[in-house]
Amino acid sequence: MDTLFFKAALAAYFLATAGYLVSLVARRVVMAKIATWVLGLAVALHAVHFLDMYTERGFNVAVNLFEAVSFFAWIVSGAYLAVQARTKTRVLGAIVAPFAVLLMMLASLGIEGTLAIPDALQGRLVPIHVTLSIIGEGLFALASLAGVMYCIQDRQIRRRRMGGLARYLPSLGDLDNINHTGLLWGFPLLTLGLIVGSVWAKTAWGGSNWAADPKTIWSFAVWCFYAFLLHQRLAIGWKGRKIAVLSIAALVVLISAFIGVNFLSSVHKFT
Amino acid sequence: MNVILVGMNHKTAPLELRERLSFSCGDVVRPLDELLRAPAVREALYLSTCNRVEVLARAEDMEEAIARVKSFILRHGNLGAAELEKCLYVYCGSDAVRHLFRVASSLDSMVMGEPQILGQVKEAYRDCVEQKASGIILNKLLHHAFRTAKRVRTETAVAGNAVSVSYAAVEMAKKILGSLEGRTVLLVGAGEMSELAARHLLNNGAGRIIVANRTYARAVQVAEEIHGVPVGFELLEEKLQEADIVISSTGAAGYILTPAMVQGALRRRKNRLLFLIDIAVPRDVDPAVGRIDNVYLFNIDDLQGVVDENVRNRLQEAEKAEGIIGEEVLRFAEWYNTLEVVPTIVSLREKAETILRAELERSGSWLRALGEEDRKNVEILATQIINKILHDPVTGLKEESQSNGAMPYVAAIRKLFRLEAAESPQDASPGDKPAEKETEPSEGY
């Protein structure tokens, strides 16, 4: 399998990260603008990579851990670009791009590995389950990253440090909106993904929609956590810092569910 | 460089004096006509704003021109000479260029980075062109000044952030709420500063203003002025729920907004972010309110802190701007210096050309014996020899012009080649009248 586009995308993510960091250090919005275009290039190259894989072996992307992680990075970056086109919160990229780089570096450890899909994960529903779940989780991750920046900006404003960083970070209102959007769209997608998964589980594991597997349990925990967040947001009216802090906690759970628990799982892990 | 600049600004002269001068010059006389009447002044620009009065001129004789400009100011300002000397600054050569660039870039302004000054300089230049008071030097100089100002504006942040308290409120509102589109502003009490801030907020997109006052009649009065909705004080808590930005400036002795009130309102408004500005002294809002989540409370000192921070930032940026101006002054000097040697180069070429024509004429008889083609070839050969010979002295002159030592070479070449010594290099330069290409003041800047 050709990984040229993957490597090119990784390089572009890296460049975008560097651009964002320089823009923060040098305090130049122009650099962030350029970095945003580079990030767009990275997402495009990455898309070509997926297309490449798709033509090679059909709709069976993201079934090993490394590809799933790379797909995750793509979703987070793509969603961020879509959001920033509307809100002009360019500097948020300074958190999104490094996050994508970390994921991509993790992905690159195994992107050239062989593709052995366990029997349980072979079936028409599996790619749908995986794709929907990862898109949902990607949007959640974006919501949480906005939360991280919200906490930084909130701190700057409350401590009256208006001269430095605060001047270049997005406004609290915009960050809160991104958090809202991420939760709002991520939730139905992940829900659908989990439902498809459980439908498939019934066929694959015979009879039950549910297997007491660490991965399943953690994924359900992630779903519950974000469901709670969304409920507090929409029904109770939690906003701002409280949600931002909880979003960060949720992201930690999400990452563990995604990567860490994979190694504990027996029947449901990526290869 | 034969450029001088004489003037006074808000730092050197009191308002009363600048006033007197700009009055008499603006309406009564046409200053440029009068300035140009002096033979020493070849081109002139007259800039008069509420913070400065300046005359920029290209001088034939610098001393003479400075004296003329000074007496011009003396006459119109009705000043004593001693008084005048105290307020005036005089710059010559590249210092004058630097000063002009600093003025155009708003580094010399009372509020550094304010945008009006560039427009005022452009206006002054337009007058100058209309009255045919500018020539090749001032045309080039002013366009260079506009370009420099543009560079400073785009490459530095001297005009970056708010430097007034009322505008700092707008800046903070944007930092906290994001877009101000459709936001509701609640004015509690009334005062000049809070009304000004409200106006700024409206201009930046805020949708609605509610004015609450202890005396309803006063609320109505203020609301009328800024197109707001007046309400009585008893509705304060209710309105707190609708507002995104609250500006409080009552004369009350105690706190008007307590944590309990704000917390209650916040619950009813589902925790939407609330920005409170307390510019009253003594304060209207209990400081404990500022510790509530999603509520951001700024008092007058906090806003002043934002302003101070911004001013510091502008000063830092100003250093960068000075660097840019230094570069541009050098660049202009480079252009100007070549100007000194250009007339000599032109007459050198002309002389060679004349010799060539004359020699071809003299050899006309045998040249005619040649075929058409050979005759052409002879001419080409002769021209090329001349060009080759002239190439080194011409480049040499251009190079020397940059190191300020060109005059001896110019003199030597003029003497050795017997170029007519009548004119000074400045006069021979192609533009005592405005050059076509450079006259248009609005040329894309």
Residues of B in contact with A172 (CB under 8 A): 175-178, 273
With beta carbons less than 8 A apart as the criterion, state whether B55 and B72 touch.
Answer: yes
- Is residue A267 pLDDT above 70, yes or no? no
Chain B residue numbers with beta carbons less than 8 Å from the beta carbon of A238 are: 271
pLDDT of residue B201: 92
**Rounded to whole angstroms, what are the CA distances from B24 to B28, B30, B32, B48, B267?**
5, 10, 13, 11, 64
Give the mean pLDDT of B260-278: 92
For the cut 90, the answer to whether the pLDDT of residue A42 exceeds it is yes
- Phi and psi at residue B229, to the nearest 5°: -110, 125
Residue B43: pLDDT band by 50, 70, 90 thresholds? very high
Residue B48's alpha-carbon distances to B9, B95, B103, B123, B434, in angstroms, are 10, 20, 12, 10, 22
What is the reported pLDDT for B140? 93
Tell me the two tokens of residue B395.
């480049």
Q: Which residue of A has its CA nearest to B302?
A: A160
- Asked whether residue B59 falls in the same domain as residue B190, the answer is no
Rounded CA-CA distance A29/B152 in Å is: 16
Query: What average pLDDT does this structure show over B373-398?
Result: 90
pLDDT at B29 over 90: no
Distance from CA of B436 to the nearest CA of A (A): 37
* Rounded Cα–Cα distance for residues B385 and B399 (Å): 22
Q: Are residues B104 and B229 both part of a single domain?
A: no
**A166 to B293: CB separation less than 8 angstroms, yes or no:** no
Which residues are bridge partners to B56 per DSSP?
Answer: B5, B45
Gap from B190 CA to chain A (nearest CA, Å): 26
What are the chain B neighbours of A163 within 8 Å (beta carbons)? 309-310, 312-313
**Residue with the larger pLDDT of the pair B443 and A12:** A12
Same domain for B177 and B144:
no
| pLDDT value at A235 more than 60 | yes
- Edge-to-edge strands of the sheet including B41-48? B41-48, B52-59, B3-9, B89-92
State residue B335's pLDDT score: 87
User: Closest partner residue to A157 among B176, B272, B309, by Cβ?
Assistant: B176
On whether residue B433 sits in a domain, the answer given is no
pLDDT above 60 (res B438): no
The pLDDT-based confidence of A210 (bands split at 50, 70, 90) is: low
Structure tokens at A205: 């594991």
- B positions 78-137 inside 8 Å of A (CB): none
Q: Give the pLDDT score at B113.
A: 86
Chain A contact for B271 (CB, 8 A cutoff): yes
Residues of A in contact with B294 (CB under 8 A): 239-241
* Residue B312, in any domain of the structure: no
SS3 (DSSP) at B230: strand
The reply to whether B316 falls in a domain is: no
pLDDT of residue A26: 80
What pLDDT, in 10s, does the model give residues B140-196? 999 999 999 999 998 888 887 778 888 889 989 999 998 899 999 999 988 888 888
Does the distance separating the beta carbons of B179 and A162 come in below 8 Å? Answer: no
> Does the structure show a pLDDT above 70 at B38?
yes
Q: Identify which of A163, A171, A241 has the shortest CB distance to residue B176.
A: A171
For residue B347, tell me if it sits in a domain: yes
The closest of B428, B433, B440 to B135, measured between CA atoms, is B433
Q: How does the average pLDDT of chain B come out, rounded?
A: 85
Shortest distance between the Cα of A163 and any Cα of chain B, in A, equals 5
Q: Decide if pLDDT at A57 tops 50.
A: yes
Distance CA A148, CA A202 (A): 38
CA distance B164 to chain A (A): 15
Whether residue B270 has pLDDT greater than 80: yes
Mean of pLDDT values over A123-152:
87
Q: What letter would DSSP give residue A206? A: T
Task: Give the domain CATH number at B148.
Answer: 3.30.460.30
**Domain termination site, one of B132, B155, B178:** B155
Q: Which residues of B touch A177 (CB under 8 A)?
A: 178
Among A11, A253, A252, CA closest to A108: A11
Contacting residues of A for B178, CB less than 8 Å apart: 87, 170-174, 177
Average pLDDT over residues A39-58: 86
DSSP letters spanning B159-199:
T-S--SHHHHHHHHHHHHHS--TT-EEEEES--HHHHHHHH
Domain boundary among B275, B307, B339: B307
Q: Is the pLDDT of residue A151 over 90?
A: yes
Instruction: Give me the pLDDT at residue B280, please.
Output: 87
CA distance B194 to chain A (A): 21
The verdict on B143 and B169 lying in the same domain is: no
Do B295 and B215 belong to one domain? yes
Best of B165, B275, B293, B315 to substitute, by most chain A Cβ atoms within 10 angstroms, is B293
Residues in A whose CB is inside 8 Å of some CB of B read 87, 153, 157-158, 160, 162-163, 166-167, 170-174, 176-177, 237-242
Looking at the complex, report in whole angstroms how far the Cα of residue A97 sits from the nearest Cα belonging to chain B: 22
pLDDT-based confidence at residue B428 (cuts at 50, 70, 90): very low
Q: Read off the CATH number of the domain in which B223 is found.
A: 3.40.50.720
Catalytic residues of B: 50
- At residue A98, the pLDDT reads 92
Chain B hits for A166, CB-CB cut-off 8 Å, are 175
- Label residue B27 by pLDDT band (50, 70, 90): low
Task: Supply the pLDDT for residue B165.
Answer: 85
Q: pLDDT averaged over chain A?
A: 83
Per the model's pLDDT, the better-predicted residue between A102 and B435 turns out to be A102
Residues A5-34: tens digit of each pLDDT? 888 999 999 999 999 999 888 877 788 889
- Give the model's pLDDT for residue B108: 92
pLDDT band for position B431 (cuts 50, 70, 90)? very low
Confidence band of B439 (pLDDT split at 50, 70, 90): very low
Q: Is residue B190 part of a domain?
A: yes
Give pLDDT, residue A60.
60
Residue A242: its chain B contacts at CB < 8 A?
A: 293
A34-to-A28, A38, A91, A189 alpha-carbon distances in Å? 11, 6, 11, 31
Query: Distance (Å, rounded) from C-alpha B277 to C-alpha B285?
Result: 9
B316 close to A (CB below 8 A): no
Task: Please name the residue of chain B whose CA is at the shortest distance from the CA of residue A173.
Answer: B177
The residue among A146, A81, A241 whose CA lies nearest residue B271 is A241
Closest residue in A to B173 (Cα–Cα)? A171
Backbone angles phi, psi at B135, to 5 degrees: -130, -160
Residues B210-248 have pLDDT tens digits of: 999 888 888 899 899 888 999 988 888 889 999 999 999
Dump the DSSP string for A67-79. HHHHHHHHHHHHH
- B406 or B305, greater pLDDT: B305
A69 or A113, which is more confident? A69
Instruction: Give the separation between CA B184 and CA B198, rounded to whole angstroms.
Output: 10
pLDDT on residue A266:
58
Q: Read off the amino acid at residue A30.
A: V
| pLDDT of A265 higher than 80 | no
Q: Are residues B78 and B29 in the same domain?
A: yes
Residue B106 confidence (pLDDT):
92
Q: Tell me whether residue B266 is in a domain.
A: yes
Residue A193: which H helix or E strand, with range?
Answer: helix A172-204
What value does the mean pLDDT take over residues B116-134? 91
Looking at the structure of chain B, the number of domains it has is 3
What does the pLDDT read at residue B176? 93
Report how far residue A76's alpha carbon sits from residue B210's, in angstroms, rounded to the nearest whole number: 41
Tell me whether residues A239 and B177 touch, CB distance under 8 A. Answer: no
DSSP string, B276-308: EEE--SS-SB-GGGGGSTTEEEEEHHHHHHHHH
Closest alpha carbon to A72 in A7, A137, A120, A158: A137
Q: Is-contact B179 A173, C-beta < 8 A?
A: yes
Among the candidates B155, B181, B208, a domain finishes at B155
Which residue in B174, B293, B310 is closest to A240 by CB distance? B293
- Please check whether residue B194 lies inside any domain of the structure: yes
HSE at residue B129, side-chain half, CA atoms within 13 A, is 24
pLDDT class of A107 with cuts at 50, 70, 90: confident
pLDDT at A112 over 70: no
In a domain, B298, yes or no: yes
Inter-chain contact B273–A174, Cβ cutoff 8 Å? no
Specify whether B209 is located in the same domain as B88: no
**What's the average model confidence in pLDDT over A108-124?**
62
Quick one: pLDDT at residue A118?
58
Q: What is the pLDDT of residue B436?
A: 37
- Find the domain containing B336 and state its range: 328-428
Same domain for B91 and B7: yes
